Homo-oligomer: A and B are copies of this chain.
Amino acid sequence: MPEIKVGLAQTNPVVGDYQNNALDILRLMGEAHASGIQLLVFGELALNGYPLGDLSYREDVIASGEAKLEEIVRESKNFPDLTVVLGHASLAKGPKLSMQSSDAIAHNSATVFRAGGVIGRYDKQRLPNYDVFDDWRNFVPGNQELIFEVSGTKCAVAICEDIWERDSARSSSLKAAGVDYLVVPNGSPYTRDKSKQRREAATSFANGMNLAYVNLSGGQDELVFDGDSFLLDAQGNEVISAGINPGLYQVGNAGNISQDPYEKLFEVLVVGLRDYLNKTGQKKVVLGLSGGIDSALCAAIAKEAVGSANVTGVLLPSRYSSEHSISDAEQLAKNLQIDCRTIPIEPAHRAFESSLKLSDLAQENIQARIRAVILMGISNSEGHLLISTGNKSEVAVGYSTMYGDAAGGFAPIKDVYKTDIWKLAESYNKLNGSEVIPQSSISKPPSAELRPGQLDQDSLPDYQLLDSVLELLIEGKRTVAQVVAAGFDSSIVNRIDKMVRASEWKRSQGAIGTKTTEIAFGRGRRVPLTTRFGEL
């Protein structure tokens, strides 16, 4: 067991809301003090929120954060035995590296303070610049260690990416300097395998030292910081394990942790939607209910995020809607106890048919767009956020109608493959002990119902096959040739690859939604719309 009593403080900051972020920080400092904790560690940029994006270039954003930090440090005199490590941005004063040609003006820092006084500041050294991370763009790297003592135990700070380097020389030199305790604030967003990866990185860097890994909690735009903080003792045993929720975690006070990967994923999707609404001051959502599995799962996520009373489901039947679509959607709404309305699209459909001569594809798209007009009408009139219900398989191949089913302010399942949607629905029903999502929505063959008898599988490969190929092409970063070499049919792989590339422009206009995989369609994936590589 470590020699000092440590607390892991998971907070859920709003970017730029220093007033409330500081209140949360002070509250946890008080709780920690009351529990006799000696060292309290917060997440990366816990004071400012993370990521800051271009706000990191604004002197007023940085300076008022530093002013708030001073207030917090002053308050710490009320908890004299508590040493605090708090992540925040600080104005960089030295000259910038010649090779860093960016607008950055600030460090990504952690300040150590106790009893009203600052002990020192550490500035993050390795600034990640891949996927959603723009740290090298936004921050100036540091180059100094910060070693401090808590009750005679030597501690050092590293921030997030600092510990992800293989064979790090830093870790050895810290150990050689007598450091016994590594303190690591993180802003580490959820992806499927991240929990395991965090422990691998931490164990490797810890190198026989104690290590406190503290993450943020909560959603920020497309990211969900899933908490999951932990404390490794010098033997590598995990002696504290935090859950996804904000709060103070210490030995003997473990989090409530979902062991099942689909339960965890569902929890993350709920947090992503809930915090996007909370943090942007919205309360109610509206979505179209087709009777299919995607809208059913989105409705369930919405219910868990904001409660039944704040969810409106709208049935928008067309001349092609089947009986079971309507009854499945109605049953779902009843099971979730959400507001349910029915608005047939036939009158508008006929009006457009009378004004326009349309191709078959255009005929299909127009129905999806009429639905969007109605849903956005409700959204505008009643102040509901429209949820877009597309999944990753559809988004990847462009199987959606722009300004139709793609419309919405948030797309909760845009980074979840169709084959996982089914598993999530089953997991949700299992957890609830009943068929909240009607079994028929789960088991029937997917259809957009935009023409008589239409099935997704008329236009797309079987979802099992599609998802396997997509996962290799996107998250696996494999080339078409490599996927074919892995045993997939060449014409199918080429067709899928072509669909992915042709729909880049659609994704560039897509609603944000929670990232759950290594490569989500969002800020972390930056592909030209215009490219011909591999086309010829």
Interface residues of A (CB under 8 A from B): 14-19, 49, 51-55, 57-58, 60-61, 98-103, 125-131, 134, 136-137, 141, 161, 164-165, 220-221, 275-276, 279-280, 343-344, 347-348, 350-352, 354-359, 361-362, 365-366, 369-370, 372-374, 376-378, 380-382, 402-403, 407, 409, 477, 479, 481, 505, 508-512, 523, 525-536
Contact = CB atoms under 8 A, between A and B. Distances in A.
A289 to B, nearest CB: 16
A15 B528 contact: yes
A511 B512 contact: no
A128 B102 contact: yes
Contacts of A344: 355
Contact of A528 (B58, B101, B129, B221): B221
Given A355-B348, A533-B17, A372 B403 contact: yes
Given A99-B127, A527-B53, A351 B356 contact: no
A359 B376 CA distance: 12
B128 A99 contact: no
Contacts of A53: 526-528
Contacts of A348: 348, 351-352, 355
A531 B126 contact: no
A99 B380 contact: no
B357 A381 contact: yes
B358 A99 contact: no
B129 A529 contact: no
B477 A531 contact: no
Count chain B CB atoms within 10 A of each CB in A17, A125, A343 and give the residue with the most.
A17
B533 A61 contact: yes
Contacts of A357: 381
B376 A402 contact: yes
Given A407-B402, A477-B57, A528-B221, A533 B15 contact: yes
16 contacts: A15-B528, A49-B531, A55-B533, A98-B126, A101-B126, A101-B161, A101-B164, A102-B136, A103-B130, A276-B530, A347-B355, A357-B381, A359-B380, A359-B381, A369-B372, A403-B403
Count chain B CB atoms within 10 A of each CB in A134, A376, A528 and give the residue with the most.
A528
A104 to B, nearest CB: 8
A352 B373 contact: yes
Q: Which 6 A-B pairs have the closest CB atoms?
A: A16-B533, A362-B380, A17-B532, A351-B351, A359-B381, A403-B403
Contacts of A365: 376-377, 380
Contacts of A100: 129, 136
Contacts of A536: 17, 19
A535 to B, nearest CB: 7
B380 A355 contact: no
Contacts of A164: 101
A529 B222 CA distance: 9
Contacts of A134: 137, 526
A61 B527 CA distance: 13
Given A17-B532, A402-B407, A525 B165 contact: no
Nearest to A533: B16
